[in-house]
Amino acid sequence: MAEGLLEIKNLKTSFRIKDNYYAAVDDVSITVNKNEVLAIVGESGCGKSALAFSIMGLHNRAKIEGNILYKGHDIANISPAKLNKLRGNDMAMIFQDPLTALNPLMEIGDQIGEIVSLHNKNLSKSERKAKVIKLLNKVGIPHPERTYKQFPHELSGGMRQRVVIAIAIANEPELLIADEPTTALDATIQSQILDLLNELKEDMNAGIILITHDLGVVAETADRVAVMYAGQIVEIADVHTLFGDPQHPYTRSLLNSVPNAAKDQTKLHVIQGIVPSLQKLPREGCRFGPRIPWIDSSAHEDNPVLHEISPGHFVRCTCYSQFSFPEESKEDQSHGVS
């Protein structure tokens, strides 16, 4: 049975712009289990990073409402000192761009060693070095002794991301948040890093939140997937259900806009429009409604909620049951005519 690690309840993260607060994460409830990768997908600006930063307590000036229960303790409402202790020890984050995450003027060994010592104050110098070398080995760095003495600019992008992962796992966190960890890498290296995340999940029995806009990455790595649009979760399901039986119009549009060599696809679907800016987000009704104007407004709920349509498969707003792509309706009509 799945063992719970993180439970987020009705999380709302709002940023102040001029005199008002605007929610970038709006009433999000999700759970993450041990030994599980939960992917969070969605277009740029839908609130993925704002969600991750809220969990890690990294927002300076945002207003956070709701509960973030980590092993039963509400970390949305604890002191900065307690949160700081959890960060790095129990939970860690892998950032998007390894070059900005690393100190360009410090040798790799010292950078990892610093984090190791932060949470193990009594280690001797040689014990600390041995632990760093072990970590470099664990993340697949081929010559750890050499890398120990190198600076970030002397490593390839893939190796730098491995170093960032080594720092994140230095204290064997139980919760790992990876925010677009492979965006800056080419396809082969990307695949190696994703394999590494999966190994870490198994080895450390960790719960991983993987934030990405890349559905290929999701298919390769995730156990469950939450699709986010305009600050809300619009669909959540296990990875097989999400790819095999997607229901929300946004999920279906995302999947239809990705080339699929296995399908006989002549045209890719283009999702019209963009995620509106924070101040212009529609806050009432179905937030995706304006981007599927061919669907009758009566198909939408006034206050869309998540419906559990099969065990563990949730979809927001009733419009999913009446949704089809304009291309599909045209095909139906032409079949009728012939």
Ligand X SMILES: Nc1ncnc2c1ncn2[C@@H]1O[C@H](COP(=O)(O)OP(=O)(O)OP(=O)(O)O)[C@@H](O)[C@H]1O
Q: How far apart are CA 274 and CA 40, in angstroms?
A: 18
Binding status of residue 166 toward ligand X by CB under 6 A: no
Q: Contact region for ligand X (CB under 6 A) — 44-52, 112-120, 132-140, 145-153?
A: 44-52
The one-letter code for the residue type at 86 is L
Phi, psi torsion values for 119, nearest 5 degrees: -110, 0
Binding status of residue 45 toward ligand X by CB under 6 A: yes
Q: Minimum distance between the CB of residue 83 and ligand X, rounded to whole angstroms?
A: 18
Cβ–Cβ < 8 Å for 210, 182: no
Q: Minimum distance between the CB of residue 48 and ligand X, rounded to whole angstroms?
A: 4
Binding status of residue 140 toward ligand X by CB under 6 A: no
Q: Contact region for ligand X (CB under 6 A) — 47-55, 141-149, 218-226, 245-253?
A: 47-55
Nearest Cα neighbor of 64 from 10, 20, 19, 7 is: 10
Which 8-state DSSP code applies to residue 52?
H
Cβ–Cβ < 8 Å for 232, 28: yes
- State which of positions 180-239 bind ligand X (CB under 6 A): 213
Q: Which is nearer to ligand X, 62 or 237 (CB)?
A: 62
Binding status of residue 279 toward ligand X by CB under 6 A: no
Q: Which is nearer to ligand X, 212 or 241 (CB)?
A: 212
Binding status of residue 47 toward ligand X by CB under 6 A: yes
Angle between helical axes of 108-119 and 125-138 (0-180°, round to 10): 110
Q: Which is nearer to ligand X, 23 or 286 (CB)?
A: 23
Cα Rg for the chain, rounded, in angstroms? 22
In the list 5, 6, 24, 242, the residue contacting ligand X (rule: CB under 6 A) is 24
Q: Which residues contact 262 (CB under 8 A, 6 or more apart)?
A: none
Token readout for 189 is 């290296």
Q: Contact region for ligand X (CB under 6 A) — 43-51, 165-173, 261-269, 303-311?
A: 43-51
Residues that bind ligand X (CB under 6 A): 15, 17, 24, 42, 44-50, 213, 277-278
